[in-house]
C-alpha cells in the first residue's frame, strides 16, 4: 500500500536532490553489471524521450511517520448492507428437482460444483445458476419483510453469486452520515467525496427506537437494519458495505495536470515500441537501475540486501508467459501511460464500481477499466495506485527502452477496477473476485452481462479493511480458490497485527508483508501469524544506498508532484514513474514471482503456491523482526517482562534466485 503525498517541501527540494543524478545513475548501472559484464550497456538517459525517464520521488521527512501509522476510522457506505442468500442450502433441492442422482447431491455439498467430473460443465452451471436465483429471490423477500417491519423503504438488488445488496436510500442524511472530509453545513459538490459514515461494530440499535429517529438518522437506520436482518436468521450473513482502502494518504497536495488527451489504445493492439526480445538477461529499460527490489540479495556489485532475485531469474531466460493470467483488483489501469499503452501484456478488464459518485468516470459497471483516479476531495491527488501495482507485476512493457521493468516480462494482466474515489466498496470487491475467477458475470446498468473469458490464475489485492474477514469476502475467496486461483493479498500498513485487517485475516489467501532495501521488516508493515512471507515494499523515508533517491519501489504512476529529469537534473511539469512504499507494493512482487514460476513449471493453484513457499523463500533468522517494545506498541514481548518484542513475519523473504534449477 502506498506512501503519503509528496509535501510542498519535498516538491521544492526535488531538483536539488536530483543534482548529479545522471552520474549517480550511471554508477548504479556499473555496480549492477559488476563493472565488466559483456553485452550492451545501459541505455543512455538522454537518448530516450522525456516521458520514458522523468520520475518523482524524494526522501520524506521523518516527522511524518507518526501520522502515517496513526489509526484511522472504519468507514462504510451509508445505508448499504450486504446479505448472503442461502445458496448452498438451495443446491441440493435444485439438483433433486432437476432429477440428478443422490450421489451428485452429496458431492455437490461436500466438494463444490467444479469437483464433479462426470457431468457436462453446462449442467453444473445450470444447477448453480438456478440455485443462486432461487436463493436470492428468497433472500430478497425476507429482507423486504424485515425492512417493512422497521418501517424503512429500501432498494434491494440481487448480484451474481448470491449476494443481495440492501440500500436504505429513502432515509435522510444526518451529521453522522456526512461525506468524508465534508464539514457540517457544507453543500455537496461534484468535487465532494462520496458519502460515508464511521462504523463501530460494538454500537447497538436501541431496544426502543422511533420511526422518526430511523427516518432522520442514516447511521442509526443502518445499524438497526443490520441487527434486525441478522436476528431473522434468514441469511448466510449480514454485514455493512465496508469501504476498503489502498493505503493512499489523503492530505491535500498539488493538483495534477489533466491526463493526456490521447485516446487510450485498446489492450493487445500493436505496441508503439518494438516488442521485447524473448531472451533473458538484464532489461534495457532506462530506469531499471533504480529498481533495487529486482536485484539478487546480497551486498556485492549488482545486488541489494533487500532484493527479491528477479534479475537472477531473468538471466536464466525465465521471463514469463502470457498464458499466465493475473487479475489486479485495484483502481484500474492507465492505458495512456507511455510504458503501458499498447502493451501486449494487458488484456480487456472491467470497471465494477456501481456507484457513479465513487467511480469518478460518470458511469457504473462497464468494460472500461481505465484508471480514472481515486481523489478524495478537490484538494487531493489521484494515486493511480492500480497502475503502479500492475506495472510491478508486468503491465509495463519490459526491455523496450522505456521507463521501468516489470516483474514478469511476459504475462497477461487483467485490470479489475474496484477502488475509486476515497476507496472501494466491499460489494464491488466481492463481485471483482467472482468475475476475475470466472465464477459469475458482471451486469451493467442496462442489464447486459459482461463475462470474463480469461479466468485469472492469480488475483492480486493490494487493499485492506480494518474489520474481521467479511463473510461475503470469504465466500468469494473460497469460490475462487476452488477454481484453482491463488489469491495474493497485502498485510496492511499500520505496524499492527495483520489479524485486524481483511483480507489478510481471511482464510485461503497468501498474505504478504513488506521488507525494505536493507532486508529488514519495513517499519509500517503489519505482522503476526497471518503473514506468509515478505517481499520488497520499500521505505521512502530512507536512502540506504546513498543514491539520492528514496528506497521506495519504483513503478508506473503519473504525477505532477516532485517531478524531475534524471538526465539533466532539472524539474519537469509531469512524470510517469514514482517511488511508493507499502505492502501494496510488496504484494505484486509475489504475484509476479508466481507468474514466473507458473511459466517455468506449468503448475497452478495450490501446487504453484507450495512451489513458491518451498523454493523461493530465504528463511528468516531466529531474531528477525525483533524490536524494542517501547518502539512498537502492537508487538508481543518475546518473554514475560522482556523489553524486546517480536513481530512474526512469515516463513521468510521472497528470493527467486533460490528457485532456479528447481
Confidence of residue 282 (pLDDT cuts 50, 70, 90): very high
User: How much is the pLDDT for 97?
Assistant: 66
257 and 118, same domain (yes or no): no
One domain for residues 472 and 413: yes
| Residue that has been written with the C-alpha cell 559488476 in this structure | 34
Asked if 420 and 482 sit in the same domain, the reply is yes
Q: Which of 234, 245, 330, 371 is catalytic?
A: 330
Catalytic residue among 584, 599, 632, 649: 584
Q: Are residues 320 and 461 in the same domain?
A: yes
DSSP of 94-152: HHHHTT--HHHHHHHHHH-GGG--SS-HHHHHHHHHHHHHHHHHHHHHHHHHHHHHHT-
State whether 442 and 580 are in the same domain: yes
Q: 305 vs 114, which has greater pLDDT?
A: 305
pLDDT digits (tens, 9 = 90+) for 500-516: 999 999 999 999 999 99
Residue 479 CA to residue 112 CA, distance in Å, equals 9
Shared domain check, 566 and 444: yes
At 295-314, the pLDDT tens digits run: 999 999 899 999 999 999 99
Contact 309, 233 (CB under 8 A): no
Which pTM was predicted? 0.89
- Dihedral angle over CA of 498, 501, 507, 513, nearest 10: -40
Domain hosting residue 589, numbered range = 8-68+251-643+654-659
Annotated catalytic residue 388: no
Based on the fold, state whether residues 560 and 487 are members of the same structural domain.
Answer: yes
> What CATH number does the domain containing 429 carry?
3.40.50.200
Q: Is 168 a member of any domain?
A: yes
pLDDT over threshold 80, residue 379? no
Tell me, yes or no, whether 587 lies in a domain.
yes
pLDDT(357) > 80: yes
Rounded-to-integer distance, Cα 338 and Cα 56, Å: 15
pLDDT, residue 173, reads: 45
| Residue 119 confidence class, pLDDT cut points 50, 70, 90 | low
Give the list of residues 6+ apart from residue 56 with CB closer than 8 angstroms, or none: 6, 14, 557, 559, 561, 562, 563, 564, 575, 577, 578, 579
**Cell numbers found for residue 196:** 460515508
Q: Is 330 a catalytic residue?
A: yes
Is 123 within a domain?
yes
Report pLDDT for 186. 41
Select from 220, 244, 268 the last residue of a domain.
244
Report yes or no on 516 lying in a domain. yes
- pLDDT of amino acid 114: 44
- The confidence score (pLDDT) of residue 122 equals 66
Mean of the per-residue pLDDT values for the chain?
A: 85
pLDDT score, position 95: 63
Do 329 and 437 sit in the same domain of this protein? yes
Q: Considering the domain boundaries, does residue 538 fall inside one?
A: yes
Looking at residue 281, what is its pLDDT? 86
Residues sharing a CB contact under 8 Å with residue 290, sequence separation 6 or more, in sequence order: 25, 28, 55, 547, 549, 554
**Taking the mean position of all CA atoms in its chain, how far away is CA 540?**
19
Q: What nine digits make up the cell of 284? A: 534495457
What's the pLDDT score for residue 263?
41
Q: Give the model's confidence band at 27: pLDDT under 50 very low, under 70 low, under 90 confident, else very high.
A: low
Show Cβ contacts of residue 286 under 8 Å, excluding neighbours closer than 6 positions: 42, 43, 45, 48, 52, 53, 401, 402, 403
**41 plus 95 within the same structural domain:** no
Contact predicate 272/397, CB 8 Å: no
Radius of gyration of the chain (CA): 25
Domain boundary at 244, 261, 277, which? Answer: 244
Q: Report yes or no on 185 lying in a domain.
A: no
Per-residue pLDDT at 153? 84
- Say yes or no: 267 and 235 in one domain: no
Q: Which of 147-161, 190-204, 238-252, 528-542 has the largest mean confidence?
A: 528-542
385 among known catalytic residues: yes
Residue 555 lies in a domain: yes
Number of domains in the chain: 2
In the set 337, 385, 388, 589, the catalytic residue is 385
Q: Which of 100-114, 491-505, 544-558 has the lowest mean pLDDT?
A: 100-114
pLDDT at 561 over 60: yes
Is residue 421, in this structure, part of any structural domain at all? yes
d(C-alpha 466, C-alpha 247), whole Å: 11
Residues 141 and 27 both lie in one domain: no
Q: Which pLDDT tens digit goes with each residue over 84-93?
A: 999 887 876 7
So what's the pLDDT on residue 249? 60
Cis peptide before 545 (omega within 30 of 0): no
For residue range 385-431, list pLDDT tens digits in order: 999 999 999 999 999 999 999 999 999 999 999 999 999 999 999 99
Within 426-466, strands assigned E span 442-443, 449-450, 458-461
Q: Are residues 204 and 138 in the same domain?
A: yes
> Phi-psi category of 661—alpha, beta or left, where left has phi over 0 and alpha has psi -120 to 50?
left
What was the pLDDT predicted at 96? 64
Amino acid at each position: 500500500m502506498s506512501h503519503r503525498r509528496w509535501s510542498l517541501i519535498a516538491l521544492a527540494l526535488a531538483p536539488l536532490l536530483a543534482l548529479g543524478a545522471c552520474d549517480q545513475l550511471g554508477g548504479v548501472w556499473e555496480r549492477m553489471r559488476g563493472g565488466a559484464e559483456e553485452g550492451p550497456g545501459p541505455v543512455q538517459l538522454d537518448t530516450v524521450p522525456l516521458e520514458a525517464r522523468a520520475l518523482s520521488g524524494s526522501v520524506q521527512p521523518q516527522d511524518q511517520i507518526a501520522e502515517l501509522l496513526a489509526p484511522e476510522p472504519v468507514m462504510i457506505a451509508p445505508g448499504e448492507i450486504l446479505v448472503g442468500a442461502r445458496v448452498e442450502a438451495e443446491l441440493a433441492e435444485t439438483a433433486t428437482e432437476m432429477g440428478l442422482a443422490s450421489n451428485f447431491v452429496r458431492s455437490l455439498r461436500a466438494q463444490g460444483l467444479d469437483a464433479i467430473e462426470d457431468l457436462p460443465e453446462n449442467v453444473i452451471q445450470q444447477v448453480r445458476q438456478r440455485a443462486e436465483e432461487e436463493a436470492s429471490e428468497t433472500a430478497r423477500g425476507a429482507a423486504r419483510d424485515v425492512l417493512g417491519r422497521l418501517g424503512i423503504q429500501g432498494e434491494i438488488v440481487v448480484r451474481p453469486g448470491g449476494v443481495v445488496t440492501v440500500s436504505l436510500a429513502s432515509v435522510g442524511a444526518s451529521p453522522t452520515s456526512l461525506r468524508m472530509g465534508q464539514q457540517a453545513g457544507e453543500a455537496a459538490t461534484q468535487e465532494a467525496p462520496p458519502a460515508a459514515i464511521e462504523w463501530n461494530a460494538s454500537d447497538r440499535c436501541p431496544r426502543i427506537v422511533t420511526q422518526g429517529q430511523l427516518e432522520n438518522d442514516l447511521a442509526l437506520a443502518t445499524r438497526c437494519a443490520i441487527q434486525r436482518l441478522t436476528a431473522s436468521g434468514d441469511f448466510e450473513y449480514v454485514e455493512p458495505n465496508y469501504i476498503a482502502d489502498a493505503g493512499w494518504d489523503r492530505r491535500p497536495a498539488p493538483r495534477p495536470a489533466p491526463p493526456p488527451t490521447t485516446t487510450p489504445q485498446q489492450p493487445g493492439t500493436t505496441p508503439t515500441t518494438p516488442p521485447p526480445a524473448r531472451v533473458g538477461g538484464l532489461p534495457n529499460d532506462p530506469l531499471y537501475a533504480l529498481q533495487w527490489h529486482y536485484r539478487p540479495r546480497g551486498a556485492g556489485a549488482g545486488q541489494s540486501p533487500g532484493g527479491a532475485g528477479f534479475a537472477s531469474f531473468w538471466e536464466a531466460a525465465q521471463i514469463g508467459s502470457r498464458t499466465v493470467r493475473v487479475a489486479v483488483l485495484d483502481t484500474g489501469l492507465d492505458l495512456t501511460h507511455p510504458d503501458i499503452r499498447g502493451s501486449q501484456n494487458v488484456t480487456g478488464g472491467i470497471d465494477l464500481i456501481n456507484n457513479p459518485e465513487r467511480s469518478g468516470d460518470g458511469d457504473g459497471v462497464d468494460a472500461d477499466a481505465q484508471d480514472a483516479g481515486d481523489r478524495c476531495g478537490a484538494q487531493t491527488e489521484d494515486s493511480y495506485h492500480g497502475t503502479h501495482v500492475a506495472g510491478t507485476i508486468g503491465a509495463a512493457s519490459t526491455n523496450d527502452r522505456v521507463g521501468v521493468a516489470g516483474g514478469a516480462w511476459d504475462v497477461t494482466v487483467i485490470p479489475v477496477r474496484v477502488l475509486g474515489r476515497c476507496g472501494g466498496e466491499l460489494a464491488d470487491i466481492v463481485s471483482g473476485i467472482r468475475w476475475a475467477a470466472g465464477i459469475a458475470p458482471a451486469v451493467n446498468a442496462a442489464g447486459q452481462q459482461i463475462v470474463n473469458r480469461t479466468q485469472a490464475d492469480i488475483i492480486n489485492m493490494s487493499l485492506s479493511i480494518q474489520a474481521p474477514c467479511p463473510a461475503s469476502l470469504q465466500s468469494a475467496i473460497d469460490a475462487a480458490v476452488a477454481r484453482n486461483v491463488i489469491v495474493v493479498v497485502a498485510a496492511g500498513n499500520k505496524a499492527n497485527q495483520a489479524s485486524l485487517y481483511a483480507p489478510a485475516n481471511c482464510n485461503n489467501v497468501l498474505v504478504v508483508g513488506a521488507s525494505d532495501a536493507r532486508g529488514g521488516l519495513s517499519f509500517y508493515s503489519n505482522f503476526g501469524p497471518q503473514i506468509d512471507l515478505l517481499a520488497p515494499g520499500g521505505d521512502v523515508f530512507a536512502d540506504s544506498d546513498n543514491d539520492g533517491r528514496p528506497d521506495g519501489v519504483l513503478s508506473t504512476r503519473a504525477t505532477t508532484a516532485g517531478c524531475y529529469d534524471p538526465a539533466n537534473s532539472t524539474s519537469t511539469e509531469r512524470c510517469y514513474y514514482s517511488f511508493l512504499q507499502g505492502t501494496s507494493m510488496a504484494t505484486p512482487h509475489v504475484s509476479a514471482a508466481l507468474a514466473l514460476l507458473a511459466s517455468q513449471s506449468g503448475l497452478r493453484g495450490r501446487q504453484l503456491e507450495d512451489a513458491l513457499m518451498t523454493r523461493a523463500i530465504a528463511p528468516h533468522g531466529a531474531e528477525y523482526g525483533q524490536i524494542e517494545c517501547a518502539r512498537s506498541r502492537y508487538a508481543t514481548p518475546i518473554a514475560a517482562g522482556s523489553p524486546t518484542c517480536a513481530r512474526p513475519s512469515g516463513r521468510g523473504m521472497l528470493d527467486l534466485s533460490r528457485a532456479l534449477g528447481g
